[in-house]
Amino acid sequence: MPIVTGTDTAKTRRTLKAGGQEIAYYSIPAATEAGLGDFSKLPASLKVVLENMLRFEDDGKTVSVDDIKAFAEWAEKGGKNPREIAYRPARVLMQDFTGVPAVVDLAAMRDGIVALGGDAQKINPLNPVDLVIDHSVMIDEFGTPRAFQFNVEREYERNMERYTFLKWGQKAFNNFRVVPPGTGICHQVNLEYLAQTVWTDKDQTGTEVAYPDTLVGTDSHTTMVNGLAVLGWGVGGIEAEAAMLGQPISMLIPEVVGFKVSGALKEGVTATDLVLKVVAMLREHGVVSKFVEFYGDGLDNMPLADRATIANMAPEYGATCGFFPIDDETLRYLEQTGRDKDRIALVKDYAQANGMWRDKGYDPVYTSTLELDLGDVVPAISGPKRPQDHTPLDQSAKAFYDLIKGQRFPEESAKQEKDWNAEGGAREPGYVPGGCHDGFSEGAVEGEDYTLHDGSIVIASITSCTNTSNPYVLMAAGLVARKARALGLNRKPWVKTSLAPGSQVVSEYLEAAGLQDDLDALGFNLVGYGCTTCIGNSGPLEPAISKSINDNDLVAVSVLSGNRNFEGRISPDVRANYLASPPLVVAYAIAGDMNIDLTRDPLGQDKDGNDVYLKDVWPSSKEVADLVNSVVTREMFIEKYADVFKGDERWQAVEVTDSETYDWPSASTYIQNPPYFQGMSKKPGEIGDVKGARVLALLGDMITTDHISPAGSFKDSTPAGQYLTERQVSPREFNSYGSRRGNHEVMMRGTFANIRIKNEMLDGVEGGYTKGPDGEQAAIYDAAMAYEDQGTPLVVIGGKEYGAGSSRDWAAKGTNLLGVKAVIAESFERIHRSNLIGMGVIPFEFTDGDSRASLNLTGDEQFTIEGLGDVKPLQVVEAQVKYADGTEKTIKLKARIDTEVEIDYLKNGGVLHYVLRNLAAA
């Protein structure tokens, strides 16, 4: 047990002897002794936030004693007390897609503060910032031993301007480190190396203090590290920049949903199957803007890698985070991954001293609870376009069949009763396992001896931080490949296969187990260390395959071990996307067809022509566990992370200037000085009314940030493509929207430009189109610029869960730059709502049951919202809707300005303007 000695009268600081050191910490039990309240029944995740309040109460500026007492009241009120608090995370994590625009903003702020008469050095991160370059590698080459080398070379060719800029930032800014390309995915690097669970540093009094490791990240899957009991979640780049610069995050004390876990997974069930079930359950329960904390005896049977898989997908179930308290498994993982022995001892002793340790009796107060027996989880996939579309594996072929019949023959499909007996009974007439069914489309592939049809799997990718951080599912994938190879099976020739691990350690243990050779034999060669397919960097399909799909309007399929499968995200040629475990990805690559029921149809035939089934190649849980335990070692992690910031010879050869401010290259199509701070006054203004605004887009439910600001490739016919073509950039060098987030001119043109977005102002049209001022169809960017020329403000109308998905700030930045003053929706996802505020765009929610449908909106209306100069948080305001025929209707909207601080942000035009003015004034 830890030894607690000493006291700091009238304060909650205590001294802890642990791990061979004596260190101060802020004690939650001491807060109770001081009469601040009973915090013993708080969930561990909330105790982390409470400790933050105790530690910063000293500054007397942002945290009060009443803020601390509010946490005791939270427990007394059954898990609810939505008081506004100021929270300060210990550090910030970035990746390059979201990190480049953040560094662009910091560089622009240096220019801006100089223009306001301030000191450029005031624009420096006060908290540690780590940026991991993981989003840029694209799968151009696959299925060959040279794939990794080729893709890395193309990555540097495409992105040298961005990498030069990031390396300048590393040199110009304090507290800013860059993990070079080819190292791993930011969340896996964070989990395996950067995170410490308990951090140590000097506090505001200059005393060395131990405290919970916390962070915010510019990627929504920052939540992955909650599996290691590190409280972290995704924010937009603008909010992260404010946190870097010392601005506390304004938030309400959250509700905490307790997810009780019991039992153990059955034979053959993976962590991916578990997380897909959890996503479906929590989406149904409703956890938006809430913490989720996992507890129960079932955690004793859950390795930390599985916990990280569940924590990773918090954005998919809509929660702020999915937290796992510190326990023995936390310590085991820290040991295995090479953390310092004294740090591990400190983690244990600190957690026990401060009431953050999970033991057998752990059962705190939660706002609400739900429960899952791990033994009830079955093999599953999710799709075709949402992570919560959970489908048991034995129903997946039927579900796809129904999907296609519903698309091709909706009336007929609605009438039909299908019999898919699980024991092998009758099926729908016309069904052939793996074939082209009645009513399905098919098309020949030029130069090949096969045809494609609805359901042909053209992409099978082991990718993303969600699963490639988990050695159990990676080893399982390798064992499926080994068994399939031994029987003479291979991937189908139309399947683009790839393996993109989350860190170099994965390659190390796959090689050590001898499994990489087996994966290579089935086409799962290493293509790079990065997010690849999961973020749309799947690279082009073979031209003949792409042509067959598009000429015949086929519903082609991708299967990936990722976390996102939104429309238009994975590939422009693929319309149905499914999330699956890595071993199932290998199996589907062999099957090559979503119409095959893997639970009862053969994957293929062996060398002697005998049918081979999934059960014939599926490894046992013991096989997987034995391999993991014998191969994955502490030494692997220590070796691979020894020079994590050094990079290869390409990175080391990148030359940068030594300058305080950035010399913006005027001809660059990657990095441009954004207009946000140009001509900015020294004093803020007032929140402006919305008068006579026209509708730029009328959108449905579950509009994701992918719909608003896509990350993938684009064509030369788009406004972004035309912009680059005019600057002599060939389509081959367009790269992606994500890679060009340092150039606002490209990103404005790419806003609302997802190829699958549907603007209800237009009938049956997909893509980034709307009606211009003349009433004719136009690209959204062109229409927005035409309205700007007329001086006409704009609004966007949405449905439920507007802004779901990635934490990309460009979904808000682009909205702002198109002239949109307000977004009116039925509900907002947490991060995007905050990002809109951060960019000076006001989010409003319909009230009284109103919606775009009930109000009969067509997009031809005008909206006026007045009296915003003195608006209060969450105030209901009146809005006038003027219809095209001249009639008017008054409706009530809730201003989703949640806190007083957000009022200040909007008065300043955004959070960065607020910070910049304050720094300049200081």
Q: The domain spanning residue 757 has which CATH number?
A: 3.20.19.10
Total number of domains in the chain: 4
The confidence score (pLDDT) of residue 60 equals 60
Report the range of poorest mean pLDDT among 409-413, 593-597, 669-673, 804-808.
Answer: 409-413
In 3D space, the residue among 267, 163, 132 whose CA is nearest the CA of residue 625 turns out to be: 267
Q: CB neighbours of 863 closer than 8 A, spacing ≥ 6?
A: 690, 692, 693, 695, 795, 822, 824, 879, 880, 881, 882
Indicate whether 140 and 167 sit together in one domain: yes
Place of tokens 């475990």: 581
Report the range of poorest mean pLDDT among 155-159, 329-333, 706-710.
Answer: 155-159
Q: Residue 530: is its pLDDT beyond 70? A: yes
In 3D space, the residue among 449, 673, 424 whose CA is nearest the CA of residue 544 turns out to be: 449
Q: Residue 414: is its pLDDT beyond 50? A: no
Q: Residue 9: is its pLDDT beyond 80? A: no
Average pLDDT over residues 631-659: 92
Residue 732, CA distances (Å) to 369, 539, 545, 715 in order: 51, 12, 19, 10
Indicate whether 59 and 124 sit together in one domain: no
In 3D space, the residue among 262, 101, 134 whose CA is nearest the CA of residue 671 turns out to be: 101
| Phi and psi torsions of 295, nearest 5° | -150, 175
Residue 137, CA distances (Å) to 149, 218, 560, 573 in order: 11, 18, 17, 19
Indicate whether 58 and 129 sit together in one domain: no
Indicate whether 79 and 106 sit together in one domain: no
In a domain, 883, yes or no: yes
In a domain, 739, yes or no: no
Q: Which residues of 876-889 are buried (b: 16+ CB within 10 A; e: fewer)?
A: ebebbbeeeeeeee
- Over residues 220-248, the pLDDT tens digits come to 899 999 999 999 999 888 888 888 988 89
Long-range CB contacts (< 8 A, 24+ apart) of 415-424?
A: 420/395, 422/394, 422/599, 422/600, 424/600
Q: Residue 789: is its pLDDT beyond 70? A: yes
Q: Residue 4: is its pLDDT beyond 60? A: no
Torsion of CA 501, 503, 508, 513, to 10 degrees: -40
In a domain, 279, yes or no: yes
Report the range of poorest mean pLDDT among 296-310, 425-439, 765-779.
Answer: 425-439
Please state, rounded to an integer, the average pLDDT across all residues of the chain. Answer: 91
**Band of the pLDDT at 432, cuts 50, 70, 90?**
low
In a domain, 661, yes or no: no
Distance CA 244, CA 537 (A): 29
Indicate whether 21 and 157 sit together in one domain: no
Indicate whether 122 and 61 sit together in one domain: no
- Over residues 107-139, the pLDDT tens digits come to 999 999 999 988 999 999 989 999 999 877 788
In a domain, 736, yes or no: no
Q: Are 862 and 828 in contact (CB under 8 A)?
A: no
The confidence score (pLDDT) of residue 417 equals 40
Torsion of CA 699, 802, 272, 434, to 10 degrees: 0
Residue 545, CA distances (Å) to 506, 570, 899 in order: 31, 16, 52
The confidence score (pLDDT) of residue 703 equals 95
| Helix spans in 116-193 (H) | 147-172, 186-189
Indicate whether 439 and 549 sit together in one domain: yes
For 237, the 3-state DSSP assignment is helix
Give the Cα-Cα-Cα angle 747, 748, 752 (nearest 5 degrees). Answer: 95
Chain-centroid distance of CA 125 in Å reads 23
Average pLDDT over residues 184-192: 92
In a domain, 519, yes or no: yes
**Domain stop point among 67, 85, 103:** 85
In 3D space, the residue among 356, 275, 348, 271 whose CA is nearest the CA of residue 317 turns out to be: 275
Report the range of poorest mean pLDDT among 3-7, 312-316, 451-455, 720-724.
Answer: 3-7
The confidence score (pLDDT) of residue 410 equals 59
Q: What percent of the chain has pLDDT over 90?
A: 74
The confidence score (pLDDT) of residue 411 equals 53
Q: Residue 660: is its pLDDT beyond 50? A: yes
In a domain, 65, yes or no: yes
More confident residue, 732 or 466: 732
CATH of the domain at 461: 3.30.499.10
Average pLDDT over residues 385-395: 90
Indicate whether 355 and 270 sit together in one domain: yes
Place of tokens 């690849």: 532
The confidence score (pLDDT) of residue 862 equals 98
Distance CA 33, CA 215 (A): 29
Q: What percent of the chain has pLDDT over 70?
A: 96
Indicate whether 505 and 358 sit together in one domain: no
For 844, the 3-state DSSP assignment is strand
Distance CA 313, CA 308 (A): 9
Indicate whether 359 and 463 sit together in one domain: no
**Band of the pLDDT at 11, cuts 50, 70, 90?**
confident
Q: H-helix or E-strand containing 330?
A: helix 328-336
| Phi and psi torsions of 774, nearest 5° | -85, 0
End-to-end CA distance of the chain: 46
Indicate whether 482 and 371 sit together in one domain: no
Tokens of 457: 């799997």
Q: CB neighbours of 685 closer than 8 A, spacing ≥ 6?
A: 907, 908, 909
Q: Which residues of 721-760 are buried (b: 16+ CB within 10 A; e: fewer)?
A: bbbbeeeeeeeeebbbbbbbbbbbbbbbbbbbbbbbbbbb
Tokens of 368: 């609400």
For 894, the 3-state DSSP assignment is strand
Distance CA 445, CA 652 (A): 44
Chain-centroid distance of CA 533 in Å reads 14
Specify the pTM: 0.84
The confidence score (pLDDT) of residue 309 equals 92
**Band of the pLDDT at 419, cuts 50, 70, 90?**
very low
- SS3 labels along 81-130: CCCEEEECCCEEEEEHHHHHHHHHHHHHHHHHHHHCCCCHHHCCCCCCEE
The confidence score (pLDDT) of residue 831 equals 81
The confidence score (pLDDT) of residue 423 equals 41
In a domain, 640, yes or no: no
Indicate whether 475 and 326 sit together in one domain: no
Length in residues, the chain:
922
- Over residues 683-735, the pLDDT tens digits come to 999 999 999 999 999 999 999 999 999 988 899 999 999 999 999 999 989 98
Distance CA 239, CA 839 (A): 10
Tokens of 895: 């201003």
Q: Residue 170 class from Cβ within 10 Å (0-12 exposed, 13-18 middle, 19+ buried)?
A: middle
The confidence score (pLDDT) of residue 713 equals 85
Average pLDDT over residues 418-440: 59
Distance CA 868, CA 919 (A): 27
For 307, the 3-state DSSP assignment is helix
Q: What's the domain range around 843? A: 690-709+751-921
Q: How many CB atoms lie within 10 A of CB 155?
A: 24
Distance CA 878, CA 866 (A): 8
The confidence score (pLDDT) of residue 8 equals 42
The confidence score (pLDDT) of residue 762 equals 97
